[in-house]
Amino acid sequence: MLNNVISFDKASREFVLDSFDKAVDSEGFIVEKSNLKQRVLTPEGEEIRFEDFAGIKKGSLLFFKRDLPSLIKLSDLME
């Protein structure tokens, strides 16, 4: 069981992103609310589709996708 986790359901994704000043652009990518042309990147430099959004971790502000390699990385960072 993971510690220090706040879970959220799919219906709350926009609310959670909005809490951290992020929005979703017309193509479905997560962007900065203050600059809709600036897409948010994963630690590996990949753009994140709203549908692939898995979570946020401290470390400035790290956003993660929901694919296996990203989740392995996130798991390592949560050790």
Partner 1 sequence: MDWAAALAKFAKKAISGLSISLIKIDKPNFYIVNGGNVGSIVSKGKPAHKKFPPKSLPVDISLLSKEERLLLQKALKEALDNEQTFLLEDTPGEIDGIRESQAEPDNKELLTILQPFLSSTDFAALRAAVVLRYMRKKGLDVIKLKGDIVHKYGDRGAKMANLCSAGYFDDAAKQLKTFRSSPKFNADEFRKKLDDLISQSAFALFVQNDWPRLRTRNEIITRIRINAGYGIHQVVLHAIGEDNMEKVREITDALIAKYPEINKAHDDTIAGEARIHLVFPSKIAQKLK
Task: Return the bridge partners of 49, or none.
Answer: 29
Select 38 or 75, whichever has its Cβ closest to partner 1: 75
Instruction: Decide: is 8 part of the binding site for partner 1 (CB under 8 A).
Output: yes
1 binds partner 1 (CB under 8 A): yes
Q: What is the 3-state secondary structure (H, E, C) of 26-79?
A: CCCEEEECCEEEEECECCCCCECEHHHEEEEEECCEEEEECCHHHHHHHHHHCC
Residue 16 CB, shortest distance to partner 1, in Å, is: 6
Q: Is 11 in the site for partner 1 (CB under 8 A)?
A: yes
Q: Phi first, then psi: give them for residue 74, nearest 5 degrees.
A: -65, -40
Binding site for partner 1 (CB under 8 A): 1-2, 4-13, 15-16, 18-20, 53-58, 61, 66-69, 71-72, 74-75, 78
